[in-house]
Structure 1
Amino acid sequence: MTVTVVTFVVVTIAVTMAGAASVIGKRETTEDYLLASRSIPPWLTALSTVATNNSGFMFIGMIAASYRVGIETVWMMLGWIIGDAIAWWRLYPRLRARSGAAGTITVTAILATGPEGPRRSLVVAASALTFIFLGVYAAAQLKAGSTALHALFDWHPATGVMIGAVIVILYSFAGGIRADIWTDAAQSAIMFVSIVLILTAGFLEVGGPGKLATQLQALDPALLSVWPENMTFGPVLFVAGFVFAGLGTLGQPHLMTRLIAMDHTSGIRHARVFYFLWFVPFWAACIAVGLYARAVLPDLSGLPGTDAVPDPTELALPLVTMELLPDIFVGLALAGLFAATVSTADSQIILCSGVITQDMMPRWRENYLASKLATGAVLALALTVALMAPETVFDLVLIAWSGLAATLGPVLFLRLFRYPMPSGTGLAAMAAGLAAVILWHNSGHDDAVFKALPGILAAFAAYAAIRWVHTVRKRRQPIR
């Protein structure tokens, strides 16, 4: 255990220092704090984006989901990757080009600004939604990171949340978004090495796919079912829901900010190659780890520490790591988990602080100190949610992701393709998307069709309906 603790502490400090070292290149400007002066090379953009995208959702949520339901989670992976790939090919180049041409720092500013000038009401609404949902998202990351400390030291999850919050402040004040991106590069290597080590250990313990399938069949035949039982609306809509989740990446400001921070638009082509070479095998490996964890530890209830978390399956990764790996590698894997989640929380909190100073309170736009104070305020919100919310990491991430995908995503899409966006129309589209996500989440059909699909479709439908009404009224006006 001593070796595990030492390894964990050393690796955590090393990764934290990698971010803190970004102070070497920082400038005392708001644009540098929020966008790293648009100087990030494509390969680093890709590693940072994929590490931020994965972090706690993959390490905790996705592995837990695979542990619970089995191989059917592969449909989430396939659908999500298809949607994400479409966005990388068709949408992200437009986003980077639009941001560079307009000199905008935040995604909300791009969303709310067109040829007719900025729409103040859209800026405020988009900023408020970003603040709320990214605050929830950051809280999920802090909760995910705390599981590593809970499993390793048997600390109460609240202690891990507080430690994560302290490290977030160190990252933020050291170098802003540049600190996150530098840290993400180190995390990417650690995350991949960790998941490969765990997967290899599972293979050696259980055997290859055939033996794994035999064990899972004995435990619960449903774990090998390709399709879930409750597909109320059929397999096409089931998979389409996850495709829309992937497309909803456009509405995630913490990810889009990394693309805006890239040094040139043409780098998108190279960045997406690095991105998918990392993203696809890592996600597949996380699903496999969840299945091996179920075979190695078929019942998590009653194991040390499981009574302190809302869902014991979200401790599947830390517990199987400690079961299968030597102490030194346990420390490495859990440090990678902790660092990944904290850095993701930091990027979301910095993004929220940018929304406050750049969009909601534009008089603070050039105030470097105000950006840091706003970071502290947003962290306080995330900390409160992390300590008080009863939901699991998986649920919190999917709620926040869907909310942003269905509100910011459609309006930003229409803006990138230069569709007219009157304030009332944009607000109605965001309201429709948000209402659809909330209603679908509480409808009981969320497992049959992921809530991002009805949310995004509702937003586009609201926009189309209002524009149609506007066109009809315009045609009926008498010619003078």
Structure 2
Amino acid sequence: MAIVIYSASSVLAVVSIPLLIVKFLMHLVVDLVLVGSFLLFMTAFAGVGLASMLVKEDTTDDYLVAGRGMHPALAALSAVSTWNSGYMFIGFIGFTFTMGDSIVWIAVGSMIGQILAWLWLYKFIQQSANERGLRSLSSLVSEATGSPEAKLAAMLSILFLSVYAAAQLTSGGKALYVMLGWSEVVGILIGFVLVVAYCYAGGIRASIWTDAAQSSVMIVGSSLLCWVAMGEVGGFDGLHSGLEEQNANLTSIVPADLGFGLTLWAFAFFLGGLSVAGQPQVVSRVMTLGTDEDRKKAMLWFFAWQTPFLLIMVIIGLASRVVFSGADFDPELGLPMLAMETLGPFWVGLILASIFAATMSTADSQVLACTAAFTDDVMPEISQDHKKTKTVTLAVASFATAISIFGLYVPGGDSVFSLVVLAVYGLGSIFVPILIIRWAEYEPDTTHTMAMMIAALTG
């Protein structure tokens, strides 16, 4: 009779096999729930955008400004989403991660600048657009559509907006990479397909409807993430002590080593907020409103949504710094990584879908703004040709995608915050001074207008 002797190692090996299988199955279930949740919400967002096909009209006016009959709440929620999008979820979180409590200056300064833009400049923009039937911001730099200064403004806005759209595609690629492990290039190409689909389906109406749905879902998801993250770090006391343990400068509202002092630091962010009036993709939302009363209602909706959302993002950015303190950590991955660290897979999928949908619908808005600039100011002879207008849309989307992919292989070229800052301040410096002058009822001639834009570009 043979006696079989099992060694301890062989017994452990036999026992560990079922454990490994169970562990594998658990990971598989988590991944399936995450991907399923992501696809569920992405399908819902896409469905909302595609539903706009039911009410659209095959005209360039409907394609670019939704017939100027958009509801103020929808226009406002879309403006919030378009203004924030990949910048807020990826770039702003990364900047908060780096700067700590001194991020308060960008929050307050930017908000004050945006309030002034909504009160005065947007009123001028909406009235002028409605009276003259304008569909692009570049048309506002001159009384004559297709004038030399309008053509220059259009080309510059196309350049900067393409960079801005590339930043959105990069944001979406980063989110898919960190949460699903997909290549950033794959994420960018998926974004390109969705951008073109949104544009072709319903134009700006599809973008606005999707933005409104995404904003509603994201405020719920980000509030949950903020609540859970605060519990993870030990509340506000734990947040403060966690930041102070890493670096005392993180708990100071005055950044260290300011070359030009606190006043100019804060003023720079105020100008960034005021520059919202120079962002064609945001201004286009104002152009979809029918009356000045609609603009006032939209302004209230905008700040009622923007203010709490901004506060939530600040807290999430600071909490991510406490949770992920490693020197080799990419600050711009703070929000998606924090979601994966603290939330269940269903909620992670929701947040991922919200981030991705926001970046894509914003990129869609920017591509449409480029389309309006090109068809109305560079080649006004095709401004009423719906088919050629869509061809321009495809070309612009392809250009932005190429910039996004190229940026992955350039040191610093994949920084969402840097790309957005370049675009926001570039567009703001080109358009806002001219808009202020024209709002004050001065009408500079072609030479002076072009000189101002070139000076802003080269300065």
Same fold (TM over 0.5): yes
User: Partner of 2:21 in structure 1?
Assistant: none
Contact 2:141-2:449 at 8 Å conserved across structures: no
SS at match of 2:335: helix
1:397 correspondence with 2:420: yes
Max Rg structure: 2
The whole-number CA distance in structure 1 between the counterparts of 2:94 and 2:136 is 33
Select between 211-220 and 24-33 the one with higher mean Cα deviation. 211-220
The whole-number CA distance in structure 2 between the counterparts of 1:7 and 1:70 is 32
The whole-number CA distance in structure 1 between the counterparts of 2:282 and 2:60 is 19
User: Partner of 2:436 in structure 1?
Assistant: 413
Summarize the Cα distance change of 1:88–1:256 in structure 2 as closer, same or farther, 3 Å threshold.
Answer: same
After TM superposition, list the pairs within 5 Å mapping 1:231-380 onto structure 2: 231-299=258-326, 301=328, 312-380=330-398
After superposition, the C-alpha distances for 1:194-242 in whole angstroms (9 at most, x for unaligned) are 2111101111211211111111111221211211112222211111111
One-letter amino acid of the structure 2 residue matched with residue 48 of structure 1: S
User: Partner of 1:104 in structure 2?
Assistant: 134
User: Partner of 1:470 in structure 2?
Assistant: none
After TM superposition, list the pairs within 5 Å mapping 1:154-233 onto structure 2: 154-233=181-260
State the shift of 1:412 in Å.
2.1
Q: 1:3 aligns with which of 33, 40, 58?
A: 33
One-letter amino acid of the structure 2 residue matched with residue 296 of structure 1: V
SS at match of 2:57: coil
Contact 2:86-2:355 at 8 Å conserved across structures: yes
The whole-number CA distance in structure 1 between the counterparts of 2:443 and 2:371 is 29
After superposition, the C-alpha distances for 1:396-428 in whole angstroms (9 at most, x for unaligned) are 000000110001221122223321210000011
- Deviating 4+ runs (over 6 angstroms): none
Q: 2:149 aligns with which of 122, 127, 141?
A: 122
One-letter amino acid of the structure 2 residue matched with residue 105 of structure 1: R
State the shift of 1:119 in Å.
6.5
After superposition, the C-alpha distances for 1:370-398 in whole angstroms (9 at most, x for unaligned) are 11100000011100110012320000000
Select between 158-167 and 263-272 the one with higher mean Cα deviation. 263-272
The whole-number CA distance in structure 1 between the counterparts of 2:177 and 2:346 is 18
One-letter amino acid of the structure 2 residue matched with residue 158 of structure 1: V
The whole-number CA distance in structure 2 between the counterparts of 1:48 and 1:6 is 26
Q: 1:73 aligns with which of 99, 103, 107?
A: 103
State the shift of 1:74 in Å.
1.1
User: Partner of 1:92 in structure 2?
Assistant: 122
Contact 1:119-1:423 at 8 Å conserved across structures: no
Contact 2:146-2:377 at 8 Å conserved across structures: no
1:52 correspondence with 2:82: yes
* Unaligned 5+ runs, structure 1: 307-311, 437-480
The total of aligned residue pairs comes to 424
After TM superposition, list the pairs within 5 Å mapping 1:399-478 onto structure 2: 399-436=422-459
The whole-number CA distance in structure 1 between the counterparts of 2:154 and 2:182 is 36
One-letter amino acid of the structure 1 residue matched with residue 251 of structure 2: L
One-letter amino acid of the structure 2 residue matched with residue 435 of structure 1: T
User: Partner of 2:18 in structure 1?
Assistant: none
The whole-number CA distance in structure 2 between the counterparts of 1:66 and 1:46 is 25
RMSD between aligned residues: 1.2
One-letter amino acid of the structure 2 residue matched with residue 418 of structure 1: E
Contact 2:146-2:378 at 8 Å conserved across structures: no
* Unaligned 5+ runs, structure 2: 1-30
Contact 1:61-1:393 at 8 Å conserved across structures: yes
The whole-number CA distance in structure 1 between the counterparts of 2:37 and 2:290 is 36
Contact 1:148-1:335 at 8 Å conserved across structures: no
The whole-number CA distance in structure 2 between the counterparts of 1:110 and 1:69 is 37
The whole-number CA distance in structure 2 between the counterparts of 1:148 and 1:103 is 39
The whole-number CA distance in structure 1 between the counterparts of 2:186 and 2:287 is 35
Contact 2:136-2:376 at 8 Å conserved across structures: yes
Contact 2:45-2:210 at 8 Å conserved across structures: yes
TM-score by structure 1 length? Answer: 0.87
